[in-house]
Amino acid sequence: MAPPAAHRSGSNKRAQLGLFAGYVLAGSGALVGVLLLALSLWSPQTFQGLRMMATDLAAPAGQAGAATRVQTRSVFDAVAGYYDAGSRNAELEREIAVARVRLAEAEAVRQENERLKATLGLARGETGRVAIARLIGSSSSSARRFAFISAGRNDGVTNGMPVTSPMGLVGRVLETGANTSRVLLLTDSESMVPVRRATDDVVAFAEGRADGSLRIRLINLGINPLVEGDVFVTSGAGGMFRPGVAVAMVTRVTDDGAIGQLLSNPAATDLVIVEPIWQREVLEQAAEELPPEGVTQ
Amino acid sequence: MEQLNPRSRSDAYGKKINRDHSPVLVYGVPCLTILLGSLTPMLPVIAPAPVLPPFGLLILIAWRLLRPGLLPLWAGFPFGLFDDLFSGQPFGSGIMLFSLILIGLDLLEARFPWRNFWQNWLTTAAILAAYLSLAALLSGAQISVMQLGLVLPQLLLSIVLFPIVASLVTVLDRVRLLRVRRIG
């Protein structure tokens, strides 16, 4: 469509001024944007209150959507179930037989573990849970990886708390609103989790790569001991995440570590658990002693 | 005349006598659809990578190309601000990029006043490519220019979706211009 006639000011002084004022307004809008952007890159938490207020207001829509997501997924599952019911059944029975044996083994290991812990006089760390929440949305069109959950300050959630699902670690709370919180997912490029291999003590860092996978960087460089299929769990170093939560499985071995697949894919997760920070006192003490580090957004 | 053809005194937007457009619809429909587009992050899609197109911006561009002069030139500020509240980008990136895009479109229009749909599509594709890569670089994520392939799937999806968004906007434009207000 052609531009309206008002766009061409001609010799009309008033129209010329109006057009000029429009450009000045738009230009200063862009300039304000540059300043705000610089400010929020420099100190990412500046606009936290404003953002979380908006998320709180928009959350009811997200919650309704999250409920639909669970329902639709089970509908698809139900339909898909009819196709391979027979072979599935046989396969499951075989798996159950194996699992029963494994369960017995695990029970034995558990008993031995308790006995050893009792010998050492270690109390079993009670982790507890702060809140159970729904994942109601994510920054699906931005290069950052955030998710929104339906629990906030009113449920006792504070910044830094780990968020887990039954399948493993999801991320940690970054900003809290009254009834919603923003979670930094593991795949965000600012996220870094200390991990170790589940079978032994090969320690590493799991860094987000913003494309859905994790880069596992070994701390001790040397011969790379990783093979495809290795499972990494949190090591508990740093005091934020409790040890032993599943994080990633190695899918490709690289020179200095590996590329890992996230175990608790947030897309397949519906309910998540907000856990308390594992060693809050230690972290607070460390924060007092060290100069404040740059907070990641 | 009405006895011969009952629709003789009406057009696509309703009766022409004694009726007028409603200002609420005329300005409300575009604003509301753009704001709804910016609420995409509240969709129940927990994406492991950037996949969904920036719907707020897509709808804004579609309205701007369909009806020049409907939105003021400074509209990038409020719409960008609202987009920033939800998009996950650092606050201010939407304000800046939306404002620059609207100014750019205005300059482009001074050069090419008459355009066809293919030109509009090409313009949008160029804008989206620039917007997505700049937004990724300014997002505060550790992304270098080499890693911009990350936004390629999102860019392709956005470009492919633009004709659908544009035709949706033309349908909404007919709703917007319905003569629902009774005069006198």
User: What pLDDT digit, counting tens, does each position of A278-295 carry?
Assistant: 877 777 777 776 655 444
Q: Which pLDDT band, with edges at 50, 70 and 90, does A238 fall under?
A: confident
A273 and A136 within one domain: yes
Same domain for A245 and A152, yes or no, is: yes
Indicate the pLDDT class of residue A122, thresholds 50, 70 and 90: low
Same-domain pairing of A165 and A198: yes
Q: Under DSSP, is residue B173 helix (H, G, I), strand (E, B) or coil?
A: helix
CB–CB contact A211 B92 (8 Å): no
Taking CA atoms, B113 is separated from A115, A164, B165, in Å, by 82, 55, 22
Q: Which of A106-120, A129-143, A203-217, B78-92 has the lowest mean pLDDT?
A: A106-120
Q: Cβ of A65 and B43 within 8 Å? A: yes
A174 in contact with chain B, both atoms CB, cutoff 8 A: no
ipTM: 0.83
Longest dimension (CA), chain B: 71
Residues 35-64 on A with a CB inside 8 Å of B are: 35-41, 44, 46-47, 50-51, 54-55, 58-59, 61-62
A269 domain-assigned: yes
Judgement on whether residues A136 and A261 belong to the same structural domain of the protein: yes
Residue A84 pLDDT greater than 80, yes or no: no
Identify the pLDDT of residue B182. 87
Chain A hits for B141, CB-CB cut-off 8 Å, are: 143-144, 188-190, 210
Residue A46: list chain B partners with CB under 8 A: 91
**Shared-domain flag, residues A90 and A205:** no
Of A21-30, A285-294, B108-117, B175-184, the poorest mean pLDDT is in A285-294
Tell me if A114 is assigned to some domain: yes
* Predicted pLDDT at A77: 60
Name the nearest CA neighbour of B120 among B165, B65, B179.
B65
Residue A294 belongs to some domain of the structure: no
Specify the DSSP element, H or E, that contains A249: strand A246-254
Mean pLDDT for the stretch of residues B104-124: 90
Q: Domain for residue A49, yes or no?
A: no
> Has residue B122 got a pLDDT over 60?
yes
Mean pLDDT of B40-51: 81
What domain range includes position A94?
67-124
> Measured between alpha carbons, how far is A181 from A96 in angstroms, rounded to an integer?
39
B93-104 residue pLDDT tens: 999 999 999 999
Q: Is A135 contained in some domain?
A: yes
Is residue A210 located within the same domain as residue A159?
yes
Residue A198 lies in a domain: yes
Q: Are A87 and A219 in a shared domain?
A: no
Chain-chain contact of B86 with A2 (C-beta, under 8 angstroms): no
* A37 confidence band (pLDDT: 50, 70, 90): very high
pLDDT above 70: residue A126: no
d(CA B77, CA A190): 28
Question: What is the percent of chain A with per-residue pLDDT over 70, rounded to a whole number?
Answer: 84
A161: distance to nearest CA of chain B, Å?
A: 19
Res B36: pLDDT: 93
Across the range A14-20, mean pLDDT stands at: 84
Burial state string for B101-118 with b = 16 or more CB within 10 A and e = fewer than 16: bbbebbebbeeeeebeee
Residue A274 inside a domain? The answer is yes
- For residue A82, what pLDDT is reported? 64
Which residues on chain A are in Cβ contact (under 8 Å) with B142?
A: 189-190, 210
Q: What is the CATH number of the domain that holds A178?
A: 2.40.10.340
Q: What is the pLDDT of residue A75?
A: 54
Does A168 share its domain with A274? Answer: yes
Tally of structural domains, chain A: 2
Closest Cα in chain A, distance from residue B125 (Å): 16
**Which residues, at least 6 apart from A162, have a Cβ–Cβ distance to it below 8 Å?**
A169, A171, A172, A173, A240, A241, A242, A245, A274, A275, A277, A278
Please, which pLDDT band fits residue B174 given cuts at 50, 70 and 90? very high
Interface test with B, best of A46, A74, A141 (most B CBs within 10 A): A141
Residues in Cβ contact with A207 at an 8 Å cutoff, skipping those fewer than 6 apart: A189, A191, A192, A214, A215, A216, A217
- In three-state secondary structure terms, A263 is coil
Q: Residue A77 corresponds to which tokens in the numbers above?
A: 């599952």
- C-alpha A278/C-alpha A234 separation (Å) is 12
Whether A33 is in a domain gets the answer no
Closest residue in chain B to residue A46, using alpha carbons only: B91
For chain B, count helices (H), then strands (E). 6, 4
Are A274 and A140 in the same domain? yes
Note whether A91 and A194 are same-domain residues: no
pLDDT reported for residue B75: 93
- Cα separation, A233 vs A243, in Å, equals 7
- Tokens, residue B85: 């509240």
Please tell me the predicted confidence (pLDDT) of residue A8. 64
Closest-CA residue of chain B to A66: B44
Q: What angle do CA B84, B86, B90 make, to 5 degrees?
A: 40
Please determine, for residue A266, whether its predicted confidence score (pLDDT) is greater than 80.
Answer: no
Q: Which residue does chain B place closest to A63, by CA atoms? A: B44
Search chain A and give the residue with CA nearest B132. Answer: A142
A114 and A135: one domain? no
Q: Is the dihedral of CA A39, A43, A45, A49 positive or negative?
A: negative
Given this model, what pLDDT does residue B27 score? 93
At A228 the three-state DSSP class reads coil
| pLDDT exceeds 90 at position A168 | no
Expressed in angstroms, the distance from the first to the final Cα of chain A is 42
d(CA B19, CA A32): 42
Same domain flag for A120 and A237? no
3-class state of residue B168 by DSSP: helix
Between helix B23-38 and helix B76-87 the angle, nearest 10°, is 30
Q: What are the counts of helices (DSSP H) followed by strands (DSSP E) for chain A?
A: 4, 12
Between residues B14 and B77, the one the model is more confident about: B77
Least confident stretch, A101-105, A261-265, B141-145? B141-145
Lowest mean pLDDT among A81-85, A121-125, A135-139: A121-125
